[in-house]
C-alpha cells in the first residue's frame, strides 16, 4: 500500500495539514477518483480519515506519527525516480527507463 509514490506523497502532504480532495489530487498529479481509491486503502488501515464539508471531501492523517516516516521514504523514491516523484504518475511511467526486449 505504501510502496506507490502517489500514496507516499499524499500521506506526506496530509501529514502537513488537512486537505480537500481536489487540492490533494492536484498536488500529487492524479485525478480525484483515482486518489479516492488510493486513500480508501489508507482509510481501511486507519491511516487517514475523511470528512465532508458541504460537497467537498477533506482528508487528514489520523495521527501525526503516520506521516513521520514518509519524508525519508519520499526522498528515497525521488532519488530512485531521478527527482520525478512529484510529477503525475503518467509522466513518471513514461519517463522511466525502458527494459530491453528478450
The answer to whether 14 touches 54, Cβ cutoff 8 Å, is no
Q: What number of other Cβ atoms are within 10 A of residue 20's Cβ?
A: 14
- Identify the residue with better confidence: 65 or 85: 65
Q: Given pLDDT bands bounded at 50, 70 and 90, which one contains residue 51?
A: very high
Structural domains in the chain? 5-85 (1.10.10.10)
Q: Does the predicted model carry a pTM greater than 0.75?
A: no
pLDDT digits (tens, 9 = 90+) for 23-34: 999 999 999 999
The H or E element that residue 26 is part of is helix 21-28
Amino acid at each position: 500500500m505504501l510502496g506507490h509514490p502517489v500514496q507516499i506523497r499524499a500521506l506526506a502532504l496530509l501529514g502537513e495539514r488537512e486537505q480537500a480532495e481536489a487540492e490533494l489530487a492536484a498536488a500529487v498529479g492524479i485525478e480525484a477518483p483515482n486518489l479516492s481509491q488510493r486513500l480508501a486503502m489508507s482509510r481501511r488501515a486507519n491511516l487517514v480519515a475523511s470528512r465532508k464539508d458541504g460537497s467537498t471531501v477533506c482528508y487528514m492523517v489520523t495521527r501525526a506519527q503516520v506521516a513521520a516516516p514518509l519524508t525519508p521514504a519520499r526522498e528515497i523514491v525521488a532519488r530512485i525516480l531521478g527527482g520525478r516523484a512529484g510529477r503525475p504518475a503518467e509522466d513518471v511511467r513514461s519517463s522511466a527507463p525502458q527494459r530491453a526486449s528478450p
